[in-house]
Amino acid sequence: MIERVGLIGLGTMGPGIAARLARGGVTVCAFDTAQKAIERAQGLVGLADGVMDQLGIAQPSAGAGDIHFVSSLSEAVDGADLIIENVPEDQGIKTETYRAIEPLIDHSTIIATDTSGIPITKLQADLENPARFVGMHWSNPPHIIPMIEVIGGAETAPETVTAIREFIRSLDLLPVVVKKDVPGFVENRVLYALLRETVDLVERGVIEPEDIDTCVSWGIGYKLAVVGPMALLDMAGMDIYRSVSSFLNSDLANRSDVAPMVEEKIRAGKLGIKSGEGIYAYPDGRGLELQKERAKKFVAVRRILEERD
């Protein structure tokens, strides 16, 4: 039974993960090498709690479900049943983190990575005990979106995958077991195929960013929120899919590099909300306000989808 979690890395996903685990009655010991990240996370946990209140996610029983922000890796992993690694998407940094963690924990402690797509088999290659290593990919924002991918690597023990799947269920969340350890897993493979095509269309002057956002949100996204892609095939009809895909597939973007438009934005320091400008501009703290507004909409949509189920 997983009752204590060591959370390593408090970047974009960390605060939401910590808040959702604590709301599920889990004791969380959270650590980051950057003090600023810890301070930021402490503030964001409160915001996440407010959103979960709106979702009606019950508070844990008395004496359960708290978060401790600690000042060292050893404090974070001490006595943990599960370690969730949430450090930057760099295989070298992740490997160094695992090497530092392994001597500090019990042999039975599970190590899970929240990597967005680095194959689990690659990440577990240098571990002394790779059987206990597993992918646990949360979706952003993690305190709102209930789906979590579970991915075993070539050396992950089946019981490790089972333990994480059942832990996710115990939090009243939705585990999705990915059967093969492919780069990007499933969610990001589908998402990045969509992003590649939308960036290509904007870059080629087919459509403006604002219009493609409207098209996807109120067309594709509206439908997919209710009907998944496999069910959508049945709704549209296999014959229709074959007819359209027979001429359209060959014209879709299939580039294997990163689009020049994206590279130009990065060179200009226009990274998105976190830098104040990306595709769009976010002046005077507009980015934070926008995230709050979107959280309210996520809450409303989730309530409707839960009624459907």
- CATH code of residue 62: 3.40.50.720
Q: Identify the pLDDT of residue 291.
A: 85
Confidence of residue 275 (pLDDT cuts 50, 70, 90): very high
Give, in degrees to the nearest 5, the angle at Cα 40 between 18 and 9.
Answer: 50
Confidence of residue 208 (pLDDT cuts 50, 70, 90): very high
Confidence of residue 309 (pLDDT cuts 50, 70, 90): low
Domain span at residue 137 reads 4-178
To which H or E segment does residue 196 belong?
Answer: helix 187-203
Mean pLDDT for 229-241 is 96
Task: Assess whether 166 and 194 both reside in one domain.
Answer: no
d(CA 113, CA 34): 19
pLDDT tens track for 112-155: 999 999 999 999 999 999 999 999 999 999 999 999 999 999 99
Pairing of β 27-31 and β 67-69: parallel
Q: Identify the pLDDT of residue 125.
A: 96
- What's the number of domains the chain is made of? 2
> Does 63 have pLDDT greater than 80?
no
3-class secondary structure, 149 = strand
Task: Assess whether 150 and 272 both reside in one domain.
Answer: no
194: how many CB neighbours lie within 10 A of its CB?
13
Task: Assess whether 167 and 286 both reside in one domain.
Answer: no
> Does 21 have pLDDT greater than 70?
yes
Q: Identify the pLDDT of residue 308.
A: 60
Q: Identify the pLDDT of residue 284.
A: 87
Task: Assess whether 20 and 168 both reside in one domain.
Answer: yes
Tokens matching residue 189: 């493979």
3-class secondary structure, 49 = helix
Task: Assess whether 90 and 133 both reside in one domain.
Answer: yes
